[in-house]
Amino acid sequence: MYHNNKSSEDYLETILLLKQKMGNVRSIDIVNETGYKKSSISVAMKKLRENNCITVDNDGFLELTEKGYEIAKNVYEKHSCLKNFFIKIGVDPEIASEDACKIEHEISDETFLCIKNLYSTLIENND
């Protein structure tokens, strides 16, 4: 049984963002983006493959599976919304991003939805 953890969610989010920026993504791109060792990334990608979150083609290009994409999309949505919410309430953007990264993995769906709705209301009231 696969259980999401912070590092696997971060890797999936990184793959999603790199694919949006570069199109094709290989493990070395994740090494360059994160600064982690090649060996660590290799182990992580193997686990993500085994858990049906990514596929790797013959040229070494990574693709998110439907499952991997959903996880990555959800983590990225949480990160973006939380970061923007924190900035909106006066937190320094760098700190807001760091805090969002910590919280995005732990926050319940219920609490996140309430923050997301509050943030939407704040945006609407400022227009």
For residue 69, with 0-12 CB atoms within 10 Å meaning exposed, 13-18 middle and 19 or more buried, which class applies?
A: middle
Q: Please give the CATH number for the structural domain made up of 71-126.
A: 1.10.60.10
**pLDDT attached to residue 127:** 60
Single out the residue of 4, 26, 2 nearest to residue 73, CA to CA. 4
Contact 96, 83 (CB under 8 A): yes
What integer is the mean pLDDT of 100-121? 92
Ranges of each domain in the chain: 6-68, 71-126
What integer is the mean pLDDT of 5-25? 93
CATH 1.20.120.10 for the 6-68 domain, yes or no: no
**Beta strands in the chain, from DSSP E residues, in sequence order:** 54-56, 62-64
